[in-house]
Amino acid sequence: MAARQRGRELAARAAFSPTQLTMIATAISELARNIVRFARRGEIVVSLIGDDEAVGVRIVANDVGPGIADIEQALEDGYTTYDGLGLGLGGCRRLMDEFAISSEVGRGTTVAMSKWCTK
């Protein structure tokens, strides 16, 4: 909840719409839930980004966990390794404008994503 709230507060400074703020908060929640559920430790860093034409928010989640053996499969709707809906990572990808994931089995996962708001 703390990561979600802090991310939403920071994103609000960039003049995102209420709908966009909800999308950002939802994506942060999903990443935080994955860290808590699967990793031994991790962090989420949220920062404002931008230039003369647009402002945005960048979210980077790093964990030291089991890693993901098949990233493409993990991004498919319906795929789950527990009793969830299997919409998490794929949902994050759909909610954000930019999305990248890297993972190494036995070492952990990094997800970097951004959402843009034009000035």
61-84 residue pLDDT tens: 999 999 999 888 888 876 666 655
Query: DSSP for the chain?
Result: -HHHHHHHHHHHTTT--HHHHHHHHHHHHHHHHHHHHH-SEEEEEEEEEE-SSEEEEEEEEEEESS--S-HHHHHSTT--SSSS-S-HHHHHHHHSSEEEEEEETTTEEEEEEEEEEE-
This prediction's pTM: 0.88
The architecture of the domain spanning 2-118 is: 2-Layer Sandwich (3.30)
Q: What is the pLDDT of residues 21-44, one digit of tens each?
A: 999 999 999 999 889 988 989 999
> Would you say 39 and 67 are in contact if contact means Cβ atoms under 8 Å apart?
no
